[in-house]
Amino acid sequence: VEASIPEPQRAAWKNFAPKPFTSSEEFEKDAIRHIETTLARSMYNCDEGAAYAGTALAFRDRLVIDWNKTQQNQTFKDPKRLYYLSLEFLMGRALDNAMLNVGQKDTATKGLSDMGFRMEDIIQQEHDAALGNGGLGRLAACFLDSMASLNYPAWGYGLRYRYGIFKQEIIDGYQVEVPDYWLDFNPWEFPRHDITVDIHFYGHVNRYQDDTGKTVCQWEGGEIVTACAFDVPIPGYDTSTTNNLRLWGSKAASGEFDFQKFNSGEYESSVADQQRAETISAVLYPNDNLERGKELRLKQQYFWCAASLFDIVRRFKKTKRSWSDFPNQVAIQLNDTHPTLAIPELLRILIDLEGLEWDEAWSIVHKTFGYTNHTVLPEALEKWSVPLMQHLLPRHLQIIYDINFQFLQYVERNFPKEREMLGRVSIIEESQPKMVRMAYLALIGSHKVNGVAELHSDLIKTTIFKDFVKIYGPDKFANVTNGITPRRWLHQANPRLSELIASKLGGYDYLKDLTLLHKLESFVDDKAFRKEWAEIKYANKVRLAKHIKETTGHSVNPSALFDIQVKRIHEYKRQQLNIFGVIHRYLAIKSMDAEARKQLAPRVSIFGGKAAPGYWMAKTVIHLINKVGDVINNDKDVGDLLKVIFIEDYNVSKAEIICPASDISEHISTAGTEASGTSNMKFVLNGGLIIGTCDGANIEITREIGENNIFLFGNLSEDVEDLRHGHVYGTYQLDEGLASVFDEIQKGTFGDANAFSALVNGIVEHGDYYLVSDDFNSYCKTQDLIDESYKNQDEWITKCITSVARMGFFSSDRCIDEYAEMIWNIEPIQPSKTTDGL
């Protein structure tokens, strides 16, 4: 590559390529130039929005240089790359992250202040990139940050939704959804009008023999939609490595067909075609842990898989290697089953387009893919109806049947005495209509399957994939416990705590190796350190209280115990257990004498999270929380002892304010239902304690930080099945405390009781599937323990500091190293030092 660029041209690039800012004046010069020329606005017209744009564009210029260099360097070295296929990337804001990773935030802060702006205000101008629902999407974003920070050659592939997750408004206590059109001004994406892929839907398969007598399949007819690439730079922390996230947008294919329509006067219908094509990437499906089997969703999945694979194969083919080298150059990770169609698609490319034989193609495919399972909830396991698949993707359905045929033959040969197993493990479920079980297809087509926390990885082996452990042996299954990026979730969200830690550890190296936090333990008795620690927590609570005041109008006391549960609203996450507990506490306070009240630590119960728009029970829980808040917050007799707050529109940028401000946060899913959870890690890393069940990563957090530093309660996952069975077939005994809570609801204390009858009856009459009643007593007692514990602030702070010191394991850097070593077999590429990237 180097030799092909003439010397004078290289010199020009070396001379004139933008360099890092050396002063705040240089930053200002660039920002103002962008405001004047790129935005065509003058000084008199420069509001905070324009200052944000100028700042973002000035940083973007620097980022792009590193990005180009990284890509050039990686193309030149041509290592094995990882491609992370995810339908969700919940990125949040980019500017602060870019400034911190590139390391010039202070320069820009000074420059902005010279221009009359405050950095905090400018950062808040940015719209969150909310292309995800919750933990699964945010995990993908943390992974991108770690891959770049560790210099791995890795790309993300996703969809460029025009509408991300909806904005939530609370009106009269009800959730109302408002569309999130976020692309008005997005300086972080680069449309690549020259990188397009035509994607085929519908039609039929033509099977014939070619000249040599070989059977060939040709997919014909149907319609074409074009995928257009939009690239987003992903800067690593303290490295110039800047990776790429490629998002596909859909548009109508511009073929002769359209021109004919134009010419024959069918202008309107040709515009309608255009709009139909654009709907494919228009909107993110707002369900977390739930699949609804809509045709447009399947179209999204194929559109994105086919475009990404075409791109990956095109890049591989440029290197002129033989096909058998493909798995040595390419690793593809499937983030849940959403991208499973990539498996039959790669087979189709290799067999139908490249002419490989089945066995060779299969061996390549199988070595290339890895599959991460993120849930065992039955309603979240993807199944697509065979007739729909036949209609939309006729060739892929054939390939899926071929995979299944080979697989079932293998099972039959190896387990001749277990014929009943065949029906259980078949990719095709023999229901009416037949269904394609995507998790089985993903598992069969991958060389490794992993869960996301130890308990979850064990559970998939004993429940949904039990038969497959027998068929393939245990080595096909692995665990990679989730993690979070400490850059965003400590350094960016909690700058003062980050600085305090750095002052004790002698710098910020811990942001690159989070296990270094263990050195904090030797400062646990350091008086000045503890004092500052407490001051920072208080300041973070003041910041959240200010946000609550501005958005809800309620004043909360920052000295009260802040008890926070923020996450998607879902029955399995049991926000209902929390709010019933709040009512229980309210009733207890009402019956207390003045002396008892004096003994009680004031509390603020804070909730936040979105319900899927069609999930009525989850919406009822939101409604109940708000109604209970209305009553308690206005009860003069209770005053500051208890407040209930629902924070509207929980998202990544709000999480950055909320996570540093907790004393206690709640991670209280029915044991065995939360695969991992990741906000549990965020809260502990920010010096908050947690109340939780023995579920997901709570178990490993307990192991790391010590059981004295966490408040665990409730039944264990191994007992859940028996308890449920007992509810249905035994005599059901409602917990007494919970019964008193239900009586209060029934009395109409929180408004029309009928509004909440489905919620109550789900527990009292319909089997209490999530074991709210079984865990209620244990939950309340543990909350009492928290009250006691919080009174001793000295011990409390010791617990917090000790916990933070022991959280090193939960960095997403550790996860990515584990994936790289165990599943992807990729190595880091050191960034090039030269200016031309070679």
The residues annotated with a catalytic role in the active site are 374, 567-568, 573, 678, 682
Alpha carbons within 13 angstroms on the beta-carbon side of residue 305 total 28
Please tell me the count of residues contacting ligand GL4 according to CB under 6 A: 17
DSSP category for residue 127: P
- Contact string (CB under 6 A) for ligand GL4, positions 98-127, x = contact: ------------------------------
* Minimum CB distance to ligand GL4, residue 291 (Å): 9
Chain centroid to CA 586: how far?
35
Nearer to ligand GL4, 123 or 380 (CB): 380
H helix or E strand, kind and range, residue 458: helix 454-462
Task: Look at the alpha carbons of 413, 418, 420, 424 in this order and tell me if their dihedral is positive or negative.
Answer: negative
**Piece of the chain touching ligand GL4 by CB under 6 A; list 19-27, 128-136, 154-162, 808-816:** 128-136
Among 675, 681, 684, 701, contact with ligand GL4 (rule: CB under 6 A): 675
* By the rule CB under 6 A, 291 interacts with ligand GL4: no
Residue type, 582: V
Other Cβ atoms less than 10 A from the Cβ of 570: the count is 24
Q: What are the tokens at 260?
A: 């004919």
Nearest distance in Å: CB 235, ligand GL4? 23
Q: Which is nearer to ligand GL4, 197 or 697 (CB)?
A: 697
Least distance to ligand GL4, CB of residue 71, Å: 28
Is the sign of the CA dihedral 208, 211, 212, 216 positive or negative?
negative
Distance, in Å, from the CA atom of 662 to the CA atom of 646, rounded to the nearest integer, reads 15
Cα angle vertex 493, ends 244, 512, to 5°?
Answer: 60
Q: How far is the CB of 759 from ligand GL4 (least distance, A)?
A: 21
Interacting span for ligand GL4 (CB under 6 A) from 114-122, 183-191, 585-593, 670-678:
670-678
Site for ligand GL4 in 431-470 (CB under 6 A): 452
For residues 377 and 764, which CB has a smaller minimum distance to ligand GL4 in the complex? Answer: 377
CA distance 730 to 734: 12
The amino acid at 173: G
Encoded one letter per residue, x for contact with ligand GL4 by CB under 6 A and - for no contact, window 748-767 reads --------------------
Q: Which of 54, 92, 135, 187 binds ligand GL4 (CB under 6 A)?
A: 135
Instruction: Return the number of the residue (374 or 461) whose C-beta is nearest ligand GL4.
Output: 374
Site string for ligand GL4, 52-71 (x = CB under 6 A): --------------------
Based on the shown chain and the rule CB under 6 A, indicate whether residue 678 belongs to the binding site for ligand GL4: yes
Please list the alpha-helical segments (H only) found in 506-593: 527-552, 575-590
Write each residue from 5 to 44 as x if it is in contact with ligand GL4 (CB under 6 A), else as -, in one continuous string: ----------------------------------------
Closer residue to ligand GL4, CB minimum distance, 285 or 790:
285
Residue of closest CB approach to ligand GL4: 135
Helices 772-791 and 736-746: crossing angle, nearest 10°?
A: 100
Rule CB under 6 A: say whether 672 interacts with ligand GL4.
Answer: no
Q: How far apart are CA 233 and CA 231, in angstroms?
A: 7
Binder to ligand GL4 among 300, 385, 446, 676 (CB under 6 A)?
676
Stretch of 55-63, 73-81, 234-242, 671-679 lying at the interface with ligand GL4 (CB under 6 A): 671-679
Q: Whole-number minimum distance, CB 139 to ligand GL4, in Å?
A: 4
Please report how close the Cβ of residue 138 comes to ligand GL4 at its closest, in angstroms.
Answer: 8
150: tokens are 């560790």
Burial group, residue 367, by CB count within 10 angstroms (0-12, 13-18, 19+): middle
CB of 100 or CB of 452, closer to ligand GL4: 452
Tokens 């997750």 found at? 165
Contact 170, 622 (CB under 8 A): yes
Work out how close the CB of 576 gets to ligand GL4 at its nearest, in angstroms, rounded to a whole number.
17
Determine, following the binding rule CB under 6 A, whether residue 677 of this chain makes contact with ligand GL4. Answer: yes
Choosing from 92, 134, 370, 581, the residue that interacts with ligand GL4 (CB under 6 A) is: 134
Q: Minimum Å distance from CB 645 to ligand GL4?
A: 24
Strand bridging mode 190-201 / 223-235: antiparallel
Among 58, 136, 150, 699, which residue sits at the site for ligand GL4 (rule: CB under 6 A)?
136
Alpha carbon distance 721, 716 (integer Å): 10
8 Å CB contact between 90 and 303:
no
Which residue in 226, 375, 450, 651 binds ligand GL4 (CB under 6 A)?
375
Q: Which of 54, 173, 608, 696 binds ligand GL4 (CB under 6 A)?
A: 696
Please, which residue, 111 or 135, has the CB nearer to ligand GL4?
135
- Please state the closest distance from residue 293 (CB atom) to ligand GL4, in A: 15
Distance CA 531, CA 518 (A): 19
Helix (H, G, I), strand (E, B) or coil at 79: coil
Taking the complex as a whole, how short is the minimal distance between the CB of residue 289 and ligand GL4, in angstroms? 4
Q: Is 131 in the site for ligand GL4 (CB under 6 A)?
A: no
What is d(CA 637, CA 617) in angstroms, rounded to the nearest whole number?
31
CB closer to ligand GL4, 199 vs 438: 438
Cβ atoms of 831 and 73 within 8 Å: the answer is yes
Smaller CB distance to ligand GL4: residue 444 or 452? Answer: 452
Does residue number 482 form part of the binding site for ligand GL4 (CB under 6 A)? yes
Query: DSSP string of 788-838?
Result: HHHH-HHHHHHHHHHHHHT-GGGBHHHHHHHHIIIII-----PPP-STT--
Which of 60, 567 has the CB closer to ligand GL4? Answer: 567
Name the minimum Å distance from CB 819 to ligand GL4.
Answer: 13
What distance in Å separates the CA atoms of residue 188 and residue 232, rounded to the nearest whole number?
A: 6
Our measurement of the distance from residue 202's CA atom to the centroid of its chain's CA atoms, rounded to an integer in Å, reads 31
CA 545 to chain centre: 26
CB atoms within 10 A of CB 366: 15
Q: What are the φ and ψ backbone dihedral angles of 65, each rounded to 5 degrees?
A: -60, -50
For position 695 contacting ligand GL4 by CB under 6 A, the verdict is no
CB closer to ligand GL4 out of 35 and 452: 452
Determine the straight-line distance between the first and last CA of the chain, rounded to whole angstroms: 8
The single residue among 189, 674, 744, 836 that binds ligand GL4, judged by CB under 6 A, is 674
Min separation Cβ 669 and ligand GL4, Å: 8
Which one, 574 or 727, has the nearer CB to ligand GL4? Answer: 574
Q: Rounded to an integer, what distance in angstroms lies between the CA atom of residue 316 and that of residue 538?
A: 54
Report the nearest approach of ligand GL4 to the CB of residue 244 (Å).
Answer: 23
Burial 407-423 (b: 16+ CB within 10 A, else e): bbeebeeeeeeeeebee
Other Cβ atoms less than 10 A from the Cβ of 604: the count is: 24
DSSP state of 563: E
Q: Where are the alpha helices (DSSP H) in 243-380?
A: 256-263, 267-279, 295-318, 326-329, 342-348, 358-368
Give the rounded distance of the alpha carbon of 564 from its chain centre.
Answer: 20
Q: 179 CB contacts (<8 Å, ≥6 apart)? A: 163, 166, 167
- Using alpha carbons only, what angle is made at residue 261 by residues 255 and 263, rounded to the nearest 5 degrees? 105
Q: Given the complex with ligand GL4, which of 680 and 782 has the nearer CB atom?
A: 680
Per CB under 6 A, the segment of 203-211, 300-308, 373-381, 484-492 that binds ligand GL4 is: 373-381
Scanning 93-101, 130-138, 339-347, 409-417 for contacts with ligand GL4 by CB under 6 A, the matching segment is: 130-138
User: Does residue number 92 form part of the binding site for ligand GL4 (CB under 6 A)?
Assistant: no
* Part in contact with ligand GL4 (CB under 6 A); list of ranges 135-143, 359-367, 497-505, 754-762: 135-143
Sites of contact with ligand GL4 (CB under 6 A): 134-136, 139, 288-289, 374-375, 380, 452, 482, 674-678, 696
